[in-house]
């Protein structure tokens, strides 16, 4: 019964979605306020229905209801409850349901928080979100129903992919989806602006917190994904430029550009059409990511079971949603643009450069990702594009961006003298160069051009970000008053920029000074990396709830003093016959020590010699810590009180135009 209830709730949600998309739009065309105001209620009802459906599927997992094909394929009675509940999004159908839950959740939030916006904008935003939800619901109901029953009912489930049985995977997809789907709100705002022709500073102020919120979730999602890959795949890597990673990174890059162009639109009323285009593109790339994962057009470790029919459907959906948005843009945007004056030597000018670099980087990633497909489609042969291309291009494009960040605080809006602006930064630039060049020698005892270059950029970003706050504080009589006077949005920006600096440092060091060693060790033997000694104390056999594990014991000493015991595991999941490597890591801010189990040298003797992989990765933590700082920076920026004021101000404007 429960699965049928969930299935039925989805059909109802589809009906409500149609109402949410059509009625307010017709209402807008007829200037009928009552029809427009249905959007909010519809969004709330739809959210409720999707929640019910989602809970039904969770309950099916909870009860081990293997008569539901999706549950049978992705769960097992011995699977711990927490993984049974996260298995809901462990494969194609369920992750679509999660996508939909997020989408209707965002629409719900819009309907609550944007009640005070002018009725035409808020109802059109919800109508656009409703239209997107209709597409997704149709996709689910017609090609990927998670509630489908299977006969005969299997006695036992096939278990969740062991790769996904990890705490990182419990929160990584929801965070990522929140980000992906969150850009649908920016998209919907862009549609509303194009339809109404209202595109001004007020619009930017309404769209900004939504965009920032989507961005911060995406940031966290990507960070968690990287952290998960590092711990779970046992390759010691944290970013592989895999097509699906790229699919999440492209909307992030464009979303970051959007956040900055929104700032220009809000403060100076410029770059409107560019901002609209970015809003549409950010969401398009999120949909593209979904298409790439689901369709199997690219080879990826992330690819779910592929089905051409689904691919065609998503492609059509992509064409309608994005094509519709871009067509609207082509028709309406030229009429919206006011020719404002734009000086390149100004803060908005620098932000334009920032946008160019970010968007070109996204284009570079897109090109690299699609190049194999392009060549294949044109019958020019099979290619693969690997990390060397991405890494080189990425560095070339990101280095100038990091330099630009330093100027963010000192260059004024409208018109600035760049030479004058640079003067207060001269000392900081000197500090960055000296400290940056010295850091590799100070911490690693050896030099490297790449690490020094990264460290210079990192220190530059860090000191200029701190200086920007300091400049504001210094202008006030006391420290406390000064700190209070800094708006929350500025704290958010500073924190996110510090995150960028920290991240840069981590990447520079972890990729340059990474030491990797493959060793064969018997019990009691040890291997060295620098001053670290790894002693292997053999393995013990451990029975987990749904796996068997050979748990290794590795004692790490630094200059003869024991500092850590690491327990890397080799797990066998019998229900899927798959072997997983659980790496063990000892970490502090300055370095990670990473041990992954290879295979026993003699297959039949787990107590004999083992192949082990040892890594020393300096400053690895900073890579993720940088992402976490950006996340919190995003939270601060999104909750700035001027957005709440903006809503109140909007509420005081009579809706005369719309009601007339």
Partner 1 sequence: MRYVRYTAPVVILLLLIFLFYRGLALDPREVPSPLVGKAAPAFELPLLEPEGQSLTPKALGGRPVLVNFFASWCAGCQVEHPLLMELSKQGVEIVGMDYKDEPADVRRWLQRHGNPYRQVAIDRVGQAGLDWGVYGVPETYVLGPDGTILFKQIGPVTPQAWERDIRPLLVGVR
Helix axes 449-474, 488-512, angle to 10 degrees: 160
Tell the smallest beta-carbon distance from residue 623 to partner 1 (Å): 21
**DSSP-assigned beta bridge partners for residue 312:** none
Question: In whole angstroms, what is the distance from residue 363 CA to residue 361 CA?
Answer: 5
SS3 state of residue 159 = coil
SS3 state of residue 583 = coil
Q: Residue 644 is encoded by which pair of tokens?
A: 């709440």
Q: Which is nearer to partner 1, 599 or 655 (CB)?
A: 599
Q: Which is nearer to partner 1, 188 or 297 (CB)?
A: 297
Q: Which is nearer to partner 1, 161 or 452 (CB)?
A: 161
Q: Which is nearer to partner 1, 278 or 629 (CB)?
A: 278
E strands along 411-458, which residues? none
Beta carbons of 138 and 51 less than 8 angstroms apart: no
Question: In whole angstroms, what is the distance from residue 579 CA to residue 135 CA?
Answer: 38
Q: Which is nearer to partner 1, 529 or 572 (CB)?
A: 572
Which H helix or E strand runs over 419?
Answer: helix 418-422
Q: Which is nearer to partner 1, 12 or 326 (CB)?
A: 326
Question: In whole angstroms, what is the distance from residue 82 CA to residue 62 CA?
Answer: 9
Tell the smallest beta-carbon distance from residue 103 to partner 1 (Å): 21
Tell me, letter by letter, the H, E, C secondary structure of 591-618: EEEEEEEEEECCCCCCCCCEEEEEEEEE
Tell the smallest beta-carbon distance from residue 380 to partner 1 (Å): 12
Tell the smallest beta-carbon distance from residue 599 to partner 1 (Å): 5
Q: Which is nearer to partner 1, 52 or 356 (CB)?
A: 356
Q: Which is nearer to partner 1, 323 or 424 (CB)?
A: 323
Question: In whole angstroms, what is the distance from residue 311 CA to residue 575 CA?
Answer: 30
Q: Which is nearer to partner 1, 428 or 612 (CB)?
A: 612
Residues at the contact surface with partner 1, assessed by CB under 8 A: 235, 273, 277, 280-281, 284, 291, 295-299, 308, 311-312, 315, 318-319, 322-323, 326-327, 329-330, 333-334, 370, 372-374, 376-377, 382, 384, 518, 520, 579, 598-599, 601, 603, 611
Q: Which is nearer to partner 1, 324 or 482 (CB)?
A: 324
Q: How many C-beta atoms surround the C-beta of residue 639 within 10 A?
A: 15
Question: In whole angstroms, what is the distance from residue 312 CA to residue 653 CA?
Answer: 45
Tell the smallest beta-carbon distance from residue 243 to partner 1 (Å): 10
Q: How many C-beta atoms surround the C-beta of residue 531 within 10 A?
A: 10
Q: Residue 635 is encoded by which pair of tokens?
A: 């939270």
Q: Which is nearer to partner 1, 49 or 280 (CB)?
A: 280
Tell the smallest beta-carbon distance from residue 336 to partner 1 (Å): 10
Q: Residue 27 is encoded by which pair of tokens?
A: 């209402």
Tell the smallest beta-carbon distance from residue 113 to partner 1 (Å): 30
**Which of 130, 99, 144 is closest to 290 using CA atoms?**
99
Q: Which is nearer to partner 1, 265 or 467 (CB)?
A: 265
Q: How many C-beta atoms surround the C-beta of residue 284 within 10 A?
A: 21
Tell the smallest beta-carbon distance from residue 386 to partner 1 (Å): 11
Q: Which is nearer to partner 1, 518 or 562 (CB)?
A: 518
Tell the smallest beta-carbon distance from residue 200 to partner 1 (Å): 19
Tell the smallest beta-carbon distance from residue 81 to partner 1 (Å): 29
Locus of tokens 């790449």: 450
Q: Which residues contact 22 (CB under 8 A, 6 or more apart)?
A: 127
Q: Encode 468-490: b = buried (16+ Cβ within 10 Å), e = exposed.
A: bbeebbeeeeeeeebeeebebbb
Tell the smallest beta-carbon distance from residue 648 to partner 1 (Å): 35
Tell the smallest beta-carbon distance from residue 519 to partner 1 (Å): 10
Q: Residue 285 is encoded by which pair of tokens?
A: 């790339």
Q: Which is nearer to partner 1, 206 or 291 (CB)?
A: 291
Residue 575 backbone phi and psi in degrees, to 5 = -65, -30
Number of alpha helices (DSSP H) and beta strands (DSSP E) in the chain: 21, 10
Beta carbons of 394 and 329 less than 8 angstroms apart: no
Tell the smallest beta-carbon distance from residue 26 to partner 1 (Å): 25
Tell the smallest beta-carbon distance from residue 5 to partner 1 (Å): 34
Q: Encode 596-627: b = buried (16+ Cβ within 10 Å), e = exposed.
A: bbbebeeeeebeebbebbbbbbbbbbbbbbbb
SS3 state of residue 589 = coil
Beta carbons of 576 and 157 less than 8 angstroms apart: no
Locus of tokens 């997704």: 136
């Amino acid at each position: 019964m429960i699965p049928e209830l969930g299935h039925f709730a989805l059909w109802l949600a589809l009906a409500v979605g149609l109402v949410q998309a059509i009625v307010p739009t017709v209402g807008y065309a007829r200037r009928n306020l009552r029809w427009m105001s249905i959007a909010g209620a519809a969004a709330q009802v739809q959210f409720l229905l999707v929640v019910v459906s989602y809970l039904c599927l969770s309950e099916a997992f909870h009860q081990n209801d293997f008569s539901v094909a999706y549950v049978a394929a992705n769960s097992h009675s011995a699977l711990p409850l927490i993984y049974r509940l996260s298995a809901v999004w462990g494969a194609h159908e369920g992750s679509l349901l999660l996508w939909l839950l997020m989408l209707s959740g965002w629409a719900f939030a819009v309907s609550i928080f944007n009640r005070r916006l002018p009725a035409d904008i808020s109802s059109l935003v919800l109508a656009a979100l409703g239209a997107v939800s209709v597409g997704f619901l149709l996709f689910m109901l017609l090609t990927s129903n998670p509630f489908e029953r299977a006969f005969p009912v299997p006695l036992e489930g096939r278990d969740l992919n062991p790769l996904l049985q990890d705490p990182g995977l419990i929160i990584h997809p929801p965070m990522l989806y929140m980000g992906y789907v969150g850009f649908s709100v920016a998209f919907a705002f862009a549609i509303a602006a194009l339809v109404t022709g209202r595109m001004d500073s007020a619009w930017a102020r309404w769209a900004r917190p939504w965009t920032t919120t989507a961005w911060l979730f995406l940031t966290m999602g990507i960070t968690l994904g990287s952290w998960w890959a590092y711990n779970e795949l046992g390759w010691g890597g944290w970013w592989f430029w895999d097509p699906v990673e790229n699919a999440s990174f492209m909307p992030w890059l464009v979303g970051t550009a959007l956040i900055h162009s929104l700032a220009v639109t809000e403060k100076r009323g410029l770059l409107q059409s560019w901002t609209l285009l970015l809003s549409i593109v950010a969401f398009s790339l999120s949909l593209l990511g979904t298409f790439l994962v689901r369709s199997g057009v690219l080879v990826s470790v992330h690819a779910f079971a592929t089905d051409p029919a689904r691919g065609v459907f998503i492609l059509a959906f992509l064409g309608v949603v994005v094509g519709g948005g871009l067509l609207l843009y082509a028709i309406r945007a030229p009429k919206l643009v006011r020719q404002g004056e734009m000086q390149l030597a100004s803060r908005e000018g620098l932000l334009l450069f920032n946008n160019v670099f970010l968007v070109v980087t996204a284009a570079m990633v897109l090109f690299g990702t699609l190049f194999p497909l392009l060549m294949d489609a044109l019958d020019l042969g099979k290619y693969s594009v690997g990390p060397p291309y991405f890494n080189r291009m990425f560095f070339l494009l990101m280095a100038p961006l990091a330099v630009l960040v330093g100027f963010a605080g000192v260059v004024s809006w409208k018109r600035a003298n760049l030479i004058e602006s640079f003067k207060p930064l001269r000392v900081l630039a000197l500090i960055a160069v000296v400290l940056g060049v010295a850091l590799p020698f100070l911490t690693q005892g050896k030099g490297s051009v790449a690490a020094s270059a990264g460290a210079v950029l990192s220190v530059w970003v860090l000191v200029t970000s701190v200086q920007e706050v300091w400049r504001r504080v210094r202008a006030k009589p006391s420290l406390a008053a000064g700190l209070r006077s800094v708006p929350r949005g500025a704290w958010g920006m500073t924190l996110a920029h510090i995150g960028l600096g920290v991240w840069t440092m981590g990447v520079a060091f972890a990729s340059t000074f990474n030491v990797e060693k493959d060793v064969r060790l018997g019990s009691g033997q040890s291997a060295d990396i620098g001053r670290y000694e790894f002693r292997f104390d053999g393995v013990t056999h451990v029975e987990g709830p749904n796996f068997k594990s050979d748990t290794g014991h590795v004692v790490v000493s630094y200059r003869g003093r024991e500092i850590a015991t690491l327990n890397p595991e080799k797990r066998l999941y019998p229900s899927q016959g798959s072997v997983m490597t659980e790496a063990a890591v000892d970490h502090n801010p300055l370095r990670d020590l990473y041990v992954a189990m290879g295979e026993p040298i003699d297959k039949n003797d787990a107590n004999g010699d083992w192949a082990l992989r040892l890594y020393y990765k300096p400053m690895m933590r900073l890579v993720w810590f940088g992402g976490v700082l950006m996340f919190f920076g995003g939270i601060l920026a999104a909750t700035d009180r001027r957005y709440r004021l903006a809503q109140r101000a909007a509420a005081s404007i009579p809706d005369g135009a719309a009601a007339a």
